[in-house]
Amino acid sequence: MLLIWTSILFPIVAAFAVAIGPTKSAKWTAFAGTLVSLGALTLFAWNFPAWHNAEHFPNTTGPSWIPHAGITFSVGFDTVSLLLALLSAFLMPLCIVGSFSAITERTKEYYGWFLVLGSSIILAFAARDAILFYIGYEFTLVPMTLIIAIYGGTERRVAAIKMFLYTFLGSMFMLATLLYIGWEHRLAVGAWDFDIDTLTKTATRLPSSTQYWVFAAFMVGFAVKVPLFPLHTWLPLAHDQAPTAGSVILASAMLKLGTYGNYRFALPMAPAGGADLMSFVAVLAIIAIIYASLICWVQTDAKKLIAYSSVAHLGLCMLGLFALNPVGAEGAVFYMVNHGLSTGALFLCIGMFYERYHTKDTDVVGGLAKRMPVWASFMVLFTLASIGLPGLNGFIGEFLCLGGTFISEHDGQTGYPGVLGPWYAVVAGLGLIFAAMYLLILLGKLVWGPLREPHDDAAHTTSAIRLPQDLCFREIAILTPLAVACIWLGVQPKPMLDAIAPCAERMLANYPKEVERYMSQSAGTPLASINGKTNESRGE
Amino acid sequence: MIEAMSPRLILLAPEMILFVAAVTVAILGLSKNHGIRASLPFITCAALIASIAAVPLTWTNENSQAANLLLPTLGRFVKPLLAGVGVLLVLLSVGSVDRRMEESVARGRMAFDPQRVVRGEFYAFFLLSIMGAMLLCNAQDLIWLFLAIELVSLPTYIMVAIGGSGNRNQEAAVKYFFLGAMSTAVFLYGFALLYGSTGSLQFLEIRNALATQSAGSGIDTLATIGIVLILLGLCFKITAVPMQFYAPDVYEGAPTHVTAFLAFVPKTAGFTAMVLILTCVGWSGHTLIDTDGIRIPYTGLPTPIAAILWMIAILTMTLGNIGALLQSSVKRMLAYSSVAHSGYLILGLIAGATAGIEALFFYLLAYGVMTTASFAALAAIERRGEEINSFSDLAGLRLRHPVMAWMLAISAASLVGMPPFIGFFGKIYLFIAAFEADQFGLVLAAVLNSAISGLYYLKLAIVPLVAPPSARSEEVTSVPSRWPFIAAVVCGVGTIFLSAIAGPLVGAAKSSAQASPIVLTASQAAVPTASTH
């Protein structure tokens, strides 16, 4: 408990130290703050007793905050939230170091907000109380909006406002739903309580029609954050305009709050809604995969390309979650972590060459393997990880997500109410081929081929800090841990998968009984018709 | 008679302190000595703090029960709330009351007039208005209610006029006065009808009469019309539809420190009065849950009154938020935002005793602190001796006045309901209360409105912090007095600090919302207490 609160609160303390202290030492204070946070969390994970069961630790209720409303300071992790929190805490110091040369103005505010951002993300993952989760989830918006609006590119204000409004609107729906479930609990028991497990128990007892709406409202909130297809438009702009470190945290940690929200709230709390709407969400996810991939294909801005590829990858992650079987869920969670690592690393790589050339346009810059061999090797490694080359981390998650989708058929064998089946997997699999194509085209332009550099060196001279041609020690030190993690998880995924598996099963614990509900219903339900269709088409 | 009066008199101790202070301040304001005149705001503050201290000492259970009040614990929360925010509001006005006049003289806009330099009466009116709002908590009949609420309003008309200088203040004051007089006429007419129907001016007797009526064929038309008229009249005080039209003009025309006062004190008074009136009517479905967990249907307020409040709530929050979207003047935007917040607060009225009322007063606390933060930040800066008005004055404020820019951003975040600021907990608590009253539709409306409000509050945060400075904003300087600055910082820190201690505060609000039990006379004994309409 103490270690968790240390990792949440120490960055805030450090943020105050940054605000009060001198400008010169701000970055080192921030770095120390995030290191302590990471250290505390690592120490906690080292002694974490619940790696191989789906329990939370610590599983006790924290001190009360607002007793009349049942809001408490309860924190605790299960394997999934611990992994995601570790990912965020791991990326934080890297991002801080990565900003040393990029941020030269208003540095105190920047590092201060970055620390606050880190602690609110960890709070969201650690929270065992729904309101506490909401506080962390929602408050991430404030520092991120400011980081984009102050330190971003030319359209930064539009990007920041768009991001804020989209996400704020979505999360208001989420809040209303949380309060609604709290109210149902109040009706059932007589007291308000926002403990997530309690709420889950209450919500799963609601009638199916109510669960449908609960699920839909949760989806509005989380789909904006993920982002799912029609609600994704804020993301590419935000990524494009954000400073490098902001993009990294946005892609690697903040978007995971959306998928984590599905894992923790939407799916377990409203199984009937999840089962009814799964094909709808899956279709949106597949549209996201294909549509974003096609955009990537014609994209010449390297950063936007990675941003859209993020939309496609998270579409796959959502597809895995909504296969509604343990294989898909396990893959989705594994993929969340790995997408965080590889996409975060890619944004860092793009940021590093942007600092040197002040352009992200792949028509202007290219063939950098000649100029920056070290950078090029990292870039190739992370791109391949992102494509999902076997042996690197991306592959396992993608494979499991697709595998889960493939076997997600409601035939009474698996015991889960999946309706997706092979055709969904095939179409989504096309997205992976696209991903290989556009990412390899990016590599071909940026890394290989004839050397192309922008002519004016004015940008070089105005840069406050002169950077060497290839990566300096600091930059190598940032990318190396990420590279090690990518390779390690690609070669040795089993410990992590074993740890995730019980949680995935626990999340879906209420789904087998949905099968019975469908069985007992007469023919003509959406599920039966879709299932019939897939069977027919397979028969052909 | 004396024995019956004395507990009531003891309960009035905070008001007496304020009254003595008001007289003292008015007299000292005539002093020739500038030092004495300059100390007036601090005497005002001291009086307010003393009155806070007097509340727990005098408002004991025995006293309040002996006083035979409708809501015997109301004052325990509302009076310290009024005086506490009042202290911050005084700090806002330090320096600006005298100074605007000196400024005008220096710029040759008015001739020096020694009689007008003395502004002791401003603080006297300030104290009297807060005293009026406090007196409302002790009201036990309609006459007292009427006198108290007029005591809140009459000084504010004058404060708008004399708080600054220039014609705009006078224009705003005249507009405020005439519309205020009209609203007074409306609710006074409502009082008359209510008296006609129930035959009494005493709240406790009105409540019994209405309970008898509703146990029979329902509350009669005369009383219903009376109550609706009272509510509509009070809508003026709380800037709710259909009486909100004056708000943008008056808020913009009044000097900023008076605007902050208008946004909080009359609103609190109006809501307190509404709570008293509606407690007489009664929310028959107070207890939704019985011990076995079976849901008892919520009957709530009588249908016509509930329907009117429903419409007022939805229209007020929607019109407020949409109006605020369109503004280029900061003060007008904050005026519309104040309208929108009244809409949220009406949720508490509809939800009713006791969850709704405690949520209402808790939200008023949150609202008082965060809205004062935004007005204080505006009052702490000026452009070429004039008040800040448009957003372009604020662009790039961070460069020259970083603390005020941050305070504006914090207050905006709190007003929009961003966790972990106090506004978020206020909203959560209001929504919880609305859920308890089965008002899911209202919660949905409030949620959608909060989402809309994100648009303009974001502007209030982004423009000072991020936008590049404009030609206008280069001329922004801080006002000579440091006190508005201090008030802004206190409020800004308060929005965070108060949410840390939200638990005890909610507890305090909770203990304030208990109505005294209905005691029926022998002739009414047949009427069930948990009556339905």
- For A161, the closest of B295, B419, B458 (CB atoms) is B458
Considering chain A, what is the average pLDDT of its residues? 84
pLDDT of residue B226: 93
Q: Does A139 touch chain B (CB under 8 A)?
A: yes
List the single best residue of A65, A66, A146, A165 to mutate versus B (max B Cβ within 10 A).
A66
- Pick from B54-68, B94-108, B427-441 the range whose average pLDDT is largest: B427-441
Residue B455's closest chain A neighbor by CA? A165
CB-neighbour burial class of residue B486 (10 A; exposed 0-12, middle 13-18, buried 19+): middle
- For A176, the closest of B288, B413, B444 (CB atoms) is B444
Q: What is the pLDDT of residues A44-102, one digit of tens each?
A: 888 888 788 777 778 778 888 888 888 888 888 888 899 999 999 999 999 888 888 88
Task: Tell me the C-alpha to C-alpha distance, in Å, between residue B432 and each of A71, A253, B35, B80, B460.
Answer: 12, 31, 51, 25, 28
Residue window 250-309, chain B: list those with CB within 8 Å of chain A: 288-289, 291, 293, 295
Q: From CA A229, how far away is CA A195, in angstroms rounded?
A: 31
Predicted confidence band at B322 (pLDDT cuts at 50, 70, 90)?
very high
pLDDT > 90: percent of chain A: 8
Closest CA to A353 of A452, A252, A439: A452
Q: Does A427 touch chain B (CB under 8 A)?
A: no
Minimal CA separation from A431 to chain B, in Å: 35
pLDDT of residue B517: 62
Minimal CA separation from B448 to chain A, in Å: 8
DSSP B390: B
List the single best residue of B421, B435, B444 to mutate versus A (max A Cβ within 10 A).
B435
Task: Tell me the C-alpha to C-alpha distance, in Å, between residue B187 and each of A283, B44, B74, B180, B274.
Answer: 58, 31, 22, 11, 11
Predicted confidence band at A456 (pLDDT cuts at 50, 70, 90)?
low
Give the 3-state DSSP-derived string for A122-152, with helices as H, strands as E and coil as C: HHHHHECEHHHHHHHHHHCHHHHHHHHHHHC
Residue window 351-410, chain A: list those with CB within 8 Å of chain B: none
pLDDT of residue A532: 43
Q: What are phi and psi of A187, to 5 degrees?
A: -65, -40
> Which residues of B fall within a CB distance of 8 Å from A168?
416, 451, 454
pLDDT > 70: percent of chain A: 92
pLDDT > 70: percent of chain B: 88
pLDDT of residue A521: 63
- For A68, the closest of B435, B440, B507 (CB atoms) is B507
Q: Could you give the residue ranges of the DSSP H alpha helices within A388-524?
A: 393-406, 422-446, 458-462, 473-491, 494-507, 512-520
Closest CA to A89 of A53, A42, A19: A42
DSSP B119: -
Token pair, residue B509, equals 């609000």
- Pick from A44-58, B1-15, B452-466 the range whose average pLDDT is largest: B452-466
8 Å CB contact between A269 and A510? no
> Which residues of B fall within a CB distance of 8 Å from A139?
418-420
- Residue A540 above 50 pLDDT? no
Predicted confidence band at A2 (pLDDT cuts at 50, 70, 90)?
confident
Q: Does B507 touch chain A (CB under 8 A)?
A: yes
8 Å CB contact between B333 and B489? no
A135–B510 C-beta distance less than 8 A: no
Lowest-pLDDT range of A458-472, B425-439, B451-465 = A458-472
A180–B432 C-beta distance less than 8 A: no
Q: What is the pLDDT of residues A471-498, one digit of tens each?
A: 788 888 888 999 998 888 888 888 888 8
Q: How far is CA A426 from the centre of its chain?
A: 24
Q: Does B469 touch chain A (CB under 8 A)?
A: no
Token pair, residue A382, equals 């992370």
Closest CA to A81 of A511, A506, A510: A506
pLDDT of residue A537: 41
Residue with the larger pLDDT of the pair B225 and B163: B225
pLDDT of residue B98: 67
Residue ranges per domain, chain B?
2-524
What is the number of CB-based contacts under 8 A between chain A and chain B?
96
Residue with the larger pLDDT of the pair B33 and B528: B33
Minimal CA separation from B394 to chain A, in Å: 16
Task: Tell me the C-alpha to C-alpha distance, in Å, between residue B263 and each of A280, B269, B368, B369, B490.
Answer: 47, 11, 8, 11, 18
- For A146, the closest of B435, B465, B503 (CB atoms) is B465
- Pick from A322-331, B207-216, B335-344 the range whose average pLDDT is largest: B335-344
The model scores a pTM over 0.90: no
Give the strand pairing for B476-478 and B381-383.
Answer: antiparallel
Residue with the larger pLDDT of the pair B474 and B52: B52
Predicted confidence band at B106 (pLDDT cuts at 50, 70, 90)?
confident
Q: Could you give the residue ranges of the DSSP H alpha helices within A322-392?
A: 326-357, 373-387
- Residue B512 above 80 pLDDT? no
Minimal CA separation from B420 to chain A, in Å: 6
Minimal CA separation from B289 to chain A, in Å: 7
8 Å CB contact between B508 and B348? no
8 Å CB contact between B109 and B179? no
Q: From CA B361, how far away is CA B363, in angstroms rounded?
A: 5
> Which residues of A fall within a CB distance of 8 Å from B502?
65-66
Give the 3-state DSSP-derived string for A227-263, with helices as H, strands as E and coil as C: CCHHHCCHHHHHHHHCCHHHHHHHHHHHHHHHHHHHH
> Which residues of A fall within a CB distance of 8 Å from B424?
135
A64–B507 C-beta distance less than 8 A: no
pLDDT of residue B295: 42
B506–A68 C-beta distance less than 8 A: yes
Q: Does B428 touch chain A (CB under 8 A)?
A: yes
Concatenated DSSP letters of A16-64: HHHHHS-STTHHHHHHHHHHHHHHHHHHHHHT-TTTTSS--BS-S---E
pLDDT of residue A393: 84
- Residue B199 above 50 pLDDT? yes
Minimal CA separation from A423 to chain B, in Å: 38
Q: What is the pLDDT of residues A349-382, one digit of tens each?
A: 888 888 888 888 878 888 888 788 888 888 889 9
> Which residues of A fall within a CB distance of 8 Å from B510?
68
Task: Tell me the C-alpha to C-alpha distance, in Å, between residue B430 and each of A145, A526, B119.
Answer: 27, 39, 40
- Residue A458 above 60 pLDDT? no
- Residue B386 above 50 pLDDT? yes
Q: From CA B436, how far away is CA A404, in angstroms rounded?
A: 42
Residue ranges per domain, chain A?
2-526
Q: Does A93 touch chain B (CB under 8 A)?
A: no
pLDDT of residue B468: 83
Q: Which residues have CB under 8 Å from A304's CB, separation 6+?
A: A236, A239, A240, A360
Can you name the residues that pair with B230 across neighbouring β-strands? none
Using alpha carbons only, how large is chain A's radius of gyration in Å? 23
CB-neighbour burial class of residue B526 (10 A; exposed 0-12, middle 13-18, buried 19+): exposed
ipTM over 0.90? The verdict is: no
Q: From CA A116, how far away is CA A14, in angstroms rounded?
A: 9
Give the 3-state DSSP-derived string for B162-222, with helices as H, strands as E and coil as C: HCCCCHHHHHHHHHHHHHHHHHHHHHHHHHHHHHHHHCCCEHHHHHHHHHHHHHCCCCCHH
Q: From CA B507, how far away is CA A153, in angstroms rounded?
A: 47
- For A164, the closest of B288, B454, B467 (CB atoms) is B454
- Residue A529 above 60 pLDDT? no
Token pair, residue B447, equals 């949620």
- For A138, the closest of B418, B440, B502 (CB atoms) is B418
B510–A142 C-beta distance less than 8 A: no
Q: Does A67 touch chain B (CB under 8 A)?
A: yes
- For B435, the closest of A145, A179, A189 (CB atoms) is A179
Q: Which residues have CB under 8 Å from B7's CB, separation 6+?
A: B62, B63, B64, B66, B67
Considering chain B, what is the average pLDDT of its residues? 84
Q: What is the pLDDT of residues A130-185, one digit of tens each?
A: 999 999 999 999 899 989 988 888 888 888 988 998 899 888 889 989 988 988 88
Concatenated DSSP letters of B261-274: HHHHHHHHHHHHHH
Q: Does B429 touch chain A (CB under 8 A)?
A: yes
> Which residues of A fall within a CB distance of 8 Å from B429?
66, 69
- Residue B288 above 60 pLDDT? no
Q: Does B112 touch chain A (CB under 8 A)?
A: no
> Furthest-apart CA pair in chain B: how many Å?
76
> Which residues of A fall within a CB distance of 8 Å from B454?
164-165, 168-169
Sign of CA dihedral A347, A351, A352, A356: positive
pLDDT mean over A388-394: 83
Concatenated DSSP letters of A400-417: HHHHHHHT-B-SSSSSS-
> Which residues of A fall within a CB distance of 8 Å from B467?
157
Closest CA to A526 of A173, A208, A174, A207: A208
> Which residues of A fall within a CB distance of 8 Å from B513?
none
List the single best residue of A155, A167, A187, A199 to mutate versus B (max B Cβ within 10 A).
A187
B467–A157 C-beta distance less than 8 A: yes
Residue with the larger pLDDT of the pair A370 and B87: B87
Q: How many residues does chain B have?
A: 533
B502–A66 C-beta distance less than 8 A: yes
- Residue B292 above 70 pLDDT? no
Q: Does A158 touch chain B (CB under 8 A)?
A: no
- Residue B442 above 80 pLDDT? yes
- Residue B470 above 60 pLDDT? yes
A65–B418 C-beta distance less than 8 A: no
B466–A157 C-beta distance less than 8 A: yes
